[in-house]
Amino acid sequence: MSKAGTFTDDDSVPTQSSDHPPVAGLWPRFSGWLLDALLVFITGHLIGLVFAVPLYQIGPYGRLIGLTVILLYFGILNSSIGGGQTVGKRLMKTAVRGAENRPISLWRSLLRTVILAAPVILGGWGIPLFENRVVAYIASLAVFGLGGALIYTMLFNYTAMQGLHDLLCRTYVVKPDGEPKDTFPKTARVHHLLAGAWIGLTAVVLFFLSMDTPGYMPKPTTAALKDIRSTLSADPRFFNADVRDQSVTPENEPAYRAAVVEVWTVGQLPQEKQWETAREIAALALKKLDGADGFDQIQIKLTFGYDLGLPSYRSGFWYSNPVDEWESILAGE
């Protein structure tokens, strides 16, 4: 009994052309990124030198300027407008391509840049907005969750060499002049799962860390330090404040306990305002700490500067006196 079937001539079977460049390895990508980061840092540093005084007035909000520089540089040049190549990529002969092997749109490139830059921009950003617990949680998740997933995928996704930002935006960093391949390699599913698991685990850990333990009663001193910090952070003259209970051990001198109060001032205070502001802060500390009982010194640090994200500048003035001297100074006013 014969079987029915069809015959296909080999010449009539369509073949897939080898028109996909190979993906770039870790070191060309890292070298290109390092060159780009150096260029962005130098640009930011020049902005800081030229516009230092107005930047002192916006302090930590300068990161918005830094983010704009990053978006303009990486967003535009990595898109079809720049041929998918930043300066670093051109020097390392690499380029960004979509999964369809074409340069990506500007909006897609901007999204890719935001994902990659978010952990850097949000990490340690000292603005009042992050006093909000929900905002602080989201920022921490971006820094530790997204940041960890980015590092993992960029280091261990050997086959496709796609970081999480590439996976989400369906992009590759390729060697355009390399030997063509039939197609781009696929990222193994395990990398998707591990990146997602890391973000999920980080979210859970941060959630529990952000919760108040019902049975916990803060020490009076700790509560007072938090109260000082809250009061100073709400003062429009300061961007933020940090208050610490610090043990100091000078060389060849007895150790002492200091209440350290550091504020980031809006702009650089005139010289006549510096001592006046320090006295006001010392008076607040003495009041909130009930005479600073248990502390040997109160140290006041007034800082000013700017923060553009990558480059930043901070300077300041210290005023440090034993508690009884502060009391004498304030009593003599």
Q: Is the pLDDT of residue 199 over 90?
A: yes
Q: Where are the alpha helices (DSSP H) in the chain?
A: 26-50, 52-58, 63-70, 76-77, 87-92, 106-122, 133-140, 147-156, 164-169, 189-210, 220-233, 271-288, 323-331
Q: How far is 226 from 224, CA to CA, in rounded Å? A: 5
Does the pLDDT of residue 215 top 70, yes or no? no
Q: Which residues contact 91 (CB under 8 A, 6 or more apart)?
A: 32, 35
Neighbours of 296 (CB within 10 A): 16
pLDDT of 7 > 80? The answer is: no
Domains and CATH numbers, the chain: 26-210 (no CATH), 220-331 (3.30.70)
**Residue 9: band (very low, low, confident or very high) from pLDDT cuts 50, 70, 90:** very low
The proportion of the chain whose per-residue pLDDT surpasses 90, expressed as a percent, equals 76
18 against 39, higher pLDDT: 39
Token output for 128: 């009042």
Q: Which residues, listed in sequence order, are joined to residue 298 by a DSSP beta bridge? A: 259, 321
Give 244-303 pLDDT, tens digit per residue.
998 888 777 788 899 999 999 999 999 889 999 999 999 999 999 887 778 999 999 999
pTM of the entire structure?
0.84
Is the distance from CB of 256 to CB of 296 less than 8 angstroms? yes
Q: How many residues does the chain have?
A: 333
